[in-house]
């Protein structure tokens, strides 16, 4: 099943198993919402270690809640098995689900986002138990879904709602998303900006363009609206969050005849926003602009993702110093703390009121052709995760 695994030239132990885990996961085609058999495979690995595993499907989405340990404190590892479509396979150096090893990298869709993170935590957990440690000091959860890259309605959101219903509280959550800029461990995400997409349609009056006094051209009106939207003075951000921004992503006026004014003009836009804003305040500022333009419009919102931020009232008692020490132990460098990038399922875990951090491999090739992960990054992340488990549960 897994071939072309070669030893790596580092003084790290048990790397062959880590590479095998990574390859086996990549070789399972799991384009959203299909899990591709990843979660049943994970259960086969976790149950022999003592995890109690619960697989449940919801609207075609496969979810996993696995738990081990009986202590008072609790840590969850959060991740997803689904990947974005591979696109044109001819643009890949190797078949996108072959998990080919080449030049000290493993290539394949999901190699970085985020099957490598799952493989690293799996190998780290095995190493932890093989070293004679246990989970008597706390509970360790695995929360895995096949619905992160899509609408995210029936994945982690549903898992977190289940935990709430069962009164299961988490102290901290570690998300295995690819967060590094150049090498594993150089960046830890301590929060994320919010995101929301909007659709705006202006209605016009159809007519011959030779008689402009008889028509109402919605494209011309939309031009004024776009200028107003892109001229909004948003916040510039802070140490914790990048500034808010609005980007127009699509313009459409339907089928056209070059001498007829269109019936409508529609734009789609996306707003990435800081904690200074919420859905209501964003809606208010857009509607105020539209009212000032005196246009007939239809405004709808979709895919709202609330911002989240982990605050440290007591730094020494938080998980963050454990993460920082683990990164330094493996890489010799302390990580940068960031809230940049897109959204993640960490926003759902944050509704539990727990600490949420994201720590993974390099994200420079995610969602691209020839997505890949370096073996050095894999080994570093596995060692970081191993150190986190040892410090947190002992």
User: How many Cβ atoms from other residues are within 10 Å of residue 120's Cβ?
Assistant: 29
pLDDT tens, the chain, 394 aa long: 444 443 333 334 579 999 999 999 999 999 999 999 999 999 999 999 999 999 999 999 999 999 999 989 999 999 999 999 999 999 999 999 999 999 999 999 999 999 999 999 999 999 999 999 999 999 999 999 999 998 889 999 999 999 999 999 999 999 999 999 999 999 999 998 889 999 999 999 999 999 999 999 999 999 999 999 999 999 887 776 788 999 999 999 999 899 999 999 999 999 999 878 889 999 999 999 999 988 889 999 998 888 888 877 788 889 999 999 999 999 999 999 998 887 899 999 999 999 999 999 999 999 999 999 999 999 999 999 999 999 999 8
What are the backbone angles phi and psi of residue 66, rounded to the nearest 5°?
-120, 140
One DSSP character per residue, 329-378 reads: HHHSSPPEEE--SS--THHHHGGGT-EEEE--SB-TTTTSTT-EEEHHHH
Catalytic residue among 148, 266, 358, 371, which? 148
User: What is the four-CA torsion angle of 82, 88, 91, 93, rounded to 10 degrees?
Assistant: 50
**Among candidates 164, 143, 161, 150, which has minimal Cα distance to 78?**
143
Active site residue 24: no
pLDDT at 13: 52
Using CA atoms, how far apart are residues 262 and 203, in angstroms rounded to an integer? 9
pLDDT at 4: 47
Domain ranges of the chain: 15-192+307-393, 194-305
pLDDT at 276: 80
Using CA atoms, how far apart are residues 339 and 309, in angstroms rounded to an integer? 8
Catalytic residue among 24, 35, 82, 177, which? 82
Active site residue 148: yes
pLDDT at 294: 82
pLDDT at 8: 34
Residue 314 CA to its chain's centroid (Å): 27
Report in angstroms the alpha-carbon separations of 210 from 49, 187, 253: 77, 59, 19
Q: Which CATH architecture has domain 194-305?
A: 2-Layer Sandwich (3.30)
The domain made up of 15-192+307-393 is a member of CATH 3.40.630.10: yes
Record the pTM: 0.84
């Amino acid at each position: 099943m897994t071939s072309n695994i070669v030893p790596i030239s580092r003084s790290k132990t048990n790397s062959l198993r880590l590479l095998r885990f990574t390859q086996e996961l990549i070789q399972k085609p799991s384009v959203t919402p299909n899990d591709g058999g990843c979660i049943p495979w994970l259960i086969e690995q976790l149950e022999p270690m003592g995890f109690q595993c619960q697989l449940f499907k919801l609207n075609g989405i496969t979810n996993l809640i696995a738990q081990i340990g009986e202590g008072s404190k609790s840590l969850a590892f959060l991740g997803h098995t689904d990947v974005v479509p591979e696109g044109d396979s001819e643009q890949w150096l190797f078949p996108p689900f072959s998990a080919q090893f080449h030049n000290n990298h493993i290539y394949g869709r999901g190699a970085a986002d985020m099957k490598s993170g799952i493989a690293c935590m799996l190998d780290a957990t095995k190493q932890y138990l093989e070293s004679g440690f246990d989970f008597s000091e706390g509970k360790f959860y695995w929360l895995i879904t096949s619905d992160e890259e899509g609408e995210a309605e029936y994945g982690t959101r549903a898992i977190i709602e289940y935990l709430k219903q069962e009164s299961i509280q988490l102290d901290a959550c570690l998300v295995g998303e690819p967060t590094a800029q150049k090498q594993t461990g150089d960046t830890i995400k301590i929060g994320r900006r919010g995101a929301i997409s909007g659709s705006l349609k202006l209605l016009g009056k159809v007519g011959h363009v030779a008689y402009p006094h008889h028509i109402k051209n919605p494209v011309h009106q939309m031009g004024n609206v776009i200028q107003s939207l892109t001229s909004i003075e948003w916040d510039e951000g802070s140490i914790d969050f990048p500034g808010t921004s609005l980007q127009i992503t699509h313009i459409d006026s339907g089928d056209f005849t070059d001498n007829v004014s269109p019936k409508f003009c529609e734009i789609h836009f996306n707003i990435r926003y800081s904690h200074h804003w919420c859905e209501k305040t964003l809606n208010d500022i857009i509607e105020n602009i539209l009212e000032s333009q005196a246009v007939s419009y239809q405004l709808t919102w979709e895919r709202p993702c609330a911002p989240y931020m982990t605050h440290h009232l007591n730094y020494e008692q938080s998980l963050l110093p454990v993460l920082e020490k683990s990164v330094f132990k493996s890489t010799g460098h302390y990580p940068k703390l960031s809230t940049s990038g897109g959204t993640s399922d960490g926003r759902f875990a944050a509704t539990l009121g727990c600490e949420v951090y994201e720590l993974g491999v390099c994200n420079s090739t995610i969602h691209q052709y020839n997505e890949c992960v370096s073996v050095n990054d894999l080994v570093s992340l596995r060692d970081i995760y191993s150190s986190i488990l040892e410090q947190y549960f002992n």
